[in-house]
Amino acid sequence: MTGLPQSGSVKIDAGGIEPDAEIRSLIDDPRGYRTMLLKIEASPLGELHAHEEIEQIYVLEGDFFDDDASYGPGDFVLRMPGAMHRAGSKQGCTMLITYTPFVEGHS
């Protein structure tokens, strides 16, 4: 895992998730920027919760669902800070998730 670069571009070896792992952190910056590959097993709806950051989810394989919809490969979900949600999966899922700090006044 790495923080944000001072400038320019950085190549990060994403390489996928190890067979027994559930998460591979790609960016974990102290300013609140996080990017990860997440693998979840089949599960019912989890606990109701919200995030302080903007949450972006891109489904790579499998499925997951929340109280609003079901999602599959290629689906993209955007949740704004404070959006209450809970999620589950019928068959398991691998997704790319990013969390970005919300800055008031920027559009």
The partner residues of 56 in beta bridges, in order of sequence, read: 78, 98
CB atoms within 10 A of CB 85: 16
Report pLDDT digits (tens) over 80-100.
999 999 999 999 999 999 999
Q: Is 25 or 15 the better-scoring residue by pLDDT?
A: 25
Element (H, E) at 95: strand 93-100
Report pLDDT digits (tens) over 16-65.
666 666 988 899 999 999 999 999 999 999 999 999 999 999 999 999 99
pLDDT of residue 18: 66
pLDDT of residue 70: 96
Q: What is the pTM of this model?
A: 0.83
| 87 burial type by CB count under 10 A (0-12 exposed, 13-18 middle, 19+ buried) | buried
Structural domains present in the chain? 23-100 (2.60.120.10)
